[in-house]
Structure 1
Amino acid sequence: MTAIPLLAVDGLAMRFGAQHLFNGLDFTAGPGAVALVGPNGTGKSTLLTLLAGITTPQAGTIRIAGHALTQAPREAKQRLAYVPDESVAYDFMTGAQFLGMVDALRGTRDLAHAAPLIAGLGLTAHMGKRFAAMSLGTRKKFMLAAGLMGDAPVVLMDEPTNGIDAAAKAWLAELIRQQGASRLLLFSTHDNELIEATGARLLHLG
Structure 2
Amino acid sequence: MTPAPLLAIDGLSMRFGAQPLFDGLDFSSGPGAVALVGPNGTGKSTLLTLLAGIATPQAGSIRIAGHALAGAQHQAKARLAYVPDESVAYEFMTGAEFLGMVDALRGTRDAPRAAPLLAGLGLAAHVDKRFGAMSLGTRKKFMLAAGLMGDAAVVLMDEPTNGIDAAAKAWLADLIRQQAASRLLLFSTHDQGLIDATDARLLRLG
Would you say same fold, with TM above 0.5? yes
Question: Deviations along 1:38-81, whole A, 9 cap, x unmatched?
Answer: 00000000000000000000000000000001101000000000
Give the aligned length: 206
Q: Give the corresponding residue for 1:17.
A: 17
C-alpha distance in 2, partners of 1:45/1:108? 26
Q: Give the corresponding residue for 2:43.
A: 43
Identity among equivalent pairs (%): 83
Question: Deviations along 1:14-43, whole A, 9 cap, x unmatched?
Answer: 000010011100010110000000000000
Q: Give the corresponding residue for 1:123.
A: 123
- What's the TM-score, normalizing by structure 1? 0.99
**How big is the shift at 1:2?**
2.0
C-alpha distance in 1, partners of 2:3/2:71? 21
**How big is the shift at 1:106?**
1.1
C-alpha distance in 2, partners of 1:182/1:126? 29
Question: What amino acid is aligned across from residue 50 of structure 2 in structure 1?
Answer: L
Q: Give the corresponding residue for 2:34.
A: 34
Q: Give the corresponding residue for 1:110.
A: 110
C-alpha distance in 2, partners of 1:8/1:107? 25
C-alpha distance in 2, partners of 1:188/1:149? 19
**How big is the shift at 1:108?**
1.1
Q: Give the corresponding residue for 2:63.
A: 63
State whether structure 2 residue 145 is matched by structure 1 residue 145: yes
C-alpha distance in 2, partners of 1:191/1:138? 19
Question: What amino acid is aligned across from residue 200 of structure 2 in structure 1?
Answer: A
C-alpha distance in 2, partners of 1:21/1:70? 20
Over 3 Å off, 4+ runs:
none
Q: Give the corresponding residue for 1:96.
A: 96
Question: What amino acid is aligned across from residue 199 of structure 2 in structure 1?
Answer: G
C-alpha distance in 2, partners of 1:164/1:95? 16
Question: What amino acid is aligned across from residue 161 of structure 1 in structure 2?
Answer: T
C-alpha distance in 2, partners of 1:162/1:2? 37
**How big is the shift at 1:86?**
0.2
Question: What amino acid is aligned across from residue 64 of structure 1 in structure 2?
Answer: I
C-alpha distance in 2, partners of 1:111/1:167? 23
C-alpha distance in 1, partners of 2:39/2:132? 32
Question: Deviations along 1:99-129, whole A, 9 cap, x unmatched?
Answer: 0110111111111111111110100000000
Question: What amino acid is aligned across from residue 138 of structure 2 in structure 1?
Answer: T
Q: Secondary structure at the match of 2:169?
A: helix
C-alpha distance in 2, partners of 1:69/1:174? 30
C-alpha distance in 2, partners of 1:148/1:113? 11
C-alpha distance in 2, partners of 1:88/1:111? 17
Q: Secondary structure at the match of 2:122?
A: coil
Q: Secondary structure at the match of 2:161?
A: coil
C-alpha distance in 2, partners of 1:39/1:158? 14
Q: Give the corresponding residue for 2:74.
A: 74
